[in-house]
Every structure is written in structure tokens, then in C-alpha cells.
Amino acid sequence: MSYGIKLRVWGDYALFSRPELKVERVSYDVMTPSAARGILEAIYWKPAIRWVIDRIHVMNPIRFENIRRNEMANRVSVNKKDMEGDRPVCRYIEDDRQQRASLVLRNVEYIIEAHFEFTSDDDRNEGKHLDMFKRRAQKGQCFHRPYFGCREFPVSFEWCDEVPQSPFEDERDFGFMLHDIDFENDRTPRFFRAIMKNGIIDCAQEVVS
């Protein structure tokens, strides 16, 4: 049995990076299910449940914008020798800054339809979890500020009872899109064919590794 919710999310910018383009970041046309799950977990997460994304409603026209962002050129390398010594484990941005172009989404709004499933026999009180998520969403509470792909693109959110009409009245095929990461199977990425019909993307499709 599953227990469903609806959440309206919006923001000025979004960047759902395509994994095949690594240096210059390019966003997918719409939000990925994994990004939607991250938003829900930022609002309410418990070990007893896991969020499953059912549908994503695209409420605003899809618009892209080119921007330049400061990024780190390299990752911070940490090894046992660094941890045991007195040298601080850090990297100074002034010594490692790079400006990179990003193709981001502008003025986005989505409605996330999702449900949660129980991961164990403990804490199986569906009414409690639903009420806690709804209360937190209505009050704007979250464990950390959710974001659209990158932390500099914060998400505004609110509880949603009814899904309004989407402006899209056609069918669009966005090709293969990242669905989620299978953390129980060596962090294997899983993809699905993202097809939007009348502004709705059905995320409960067959996924491939």
C-alpha cells in the first residue's frame, strides 16, 4: 500500500545536470525524479520510509539561459596521511577557481506527485508520516533548504491539494533521463525514457541501468 502527497515547487533558476556533459554544465529540460526525491527528503525524511516519485507536472514554459558560475577546478583529496598530520584538509578557492558556462533553466515551477513506502516493520504509522509531512510543508519547514540541482538555486515550496491545468497540450520526448541512483547496488545510475504528455511526466516507467 502507498500513501501519496502533492507538493508545488518553484524557483528562479534550476540546473539538473546531464551526466554526459561534465565540464560545461547543461541542464535537462525538466526536473529529474531524483531531484524531486531530494526536495521531499529535505522537507521530511525518516529511516522508516522512502519516497517514490509518481508524476512530475511541468507548470511553466521551458526556458533556458546561459550563465557563468565560479567552480572549483579540482576536488579536495583526503587520505590517511592528511588526516593524521597537522596540515589542514582544505582547498582555497582563490588558488583553484574556474569560471564555467552553464545552460540553466529559468523561472521553473513543478508539482510533484509522490508516495512513500515503508522500509521496515518499525514505525509503520502512515497517518503520522502524512500529517508530519503536510504540517512541515504548510509551515515551510525543512531539514535543509531544498534546491534545484545546485545549492545556489533554492526551492520555494507549498502544500498542494489540487493540480492546476498545465499550459502544455502536446507530447514531447526528452529522451533518456536520469531516474535515480540505486544505492543498494553499488550506486548504479538508472535511466528512463522521459515523455511529457500534456505537461505530465510519468515517472513510474520501466527504468534501465
Digit-by-digit pLDDT tens for the chain (209 residues) are: 446 899 999 999 999 999 887 778 899 999 999 999 999 999 999 998 999 999 999 999 999 999 887 776 666 666 655 555 566 667 666 666 777 788 999 999 999 999 998 888 888 888 889 999 999 999 999 999 999 999 999 999 999 988 888 899 999 999 999 998 888 888 888 999 999 999 999 998 767 66
What Cα–Cα distance (Å) separates residue 164 from each residue in 3, 53, 134, 203? 21, 18, 19, 19
> What is the chain's length?
209
For residue 208, being part of any structural domain is answered with no
For residue 110, being part of any structural domain is answered with yes
For residue 195, being part of any structural domain is answered with yes
Q: Is the model's pTM score more than 0.75?
A: yes
For residue 85, being part of any structural domain is answered with no
- Alpha-carbon distance of 75 to 61, in angstroms, equals 35
In tens, the pLDDT along 123-139 reads 888 888 999 999 999 99
CATH of the domain at 193: 3.30.70.2660
**Domain assignment of residue 166, given as a range:** 3-68+103-202
For residue 73, being part of any structural domain is answered with no
Total H helices, total E strands in the chain: 4, 9
Q: Looking at residue 84, what is its pLDDT?
A: 59
E strands in 25-149: 25-26, 49-58, 64-72, 97-118
For residue 90, being part of any structural domain is answered with no
Total number of domains in the chain: 1
For residue 92, being part of any structural domain is answered with no
Q: Looking at residue 83, what is its pLDDT?
A: 54
Instruction: Return the closest-CA partner of residue 34 out of 11, 46, 51.
Output: 51
Q: Looking at residue 85, what is its pLDDT?
A: 59
Instruction: Return the closest-CA partner of residue 105 out of 155, 31, 7.
Output: 31
For residue 83, being part of any structural domain is answered with no
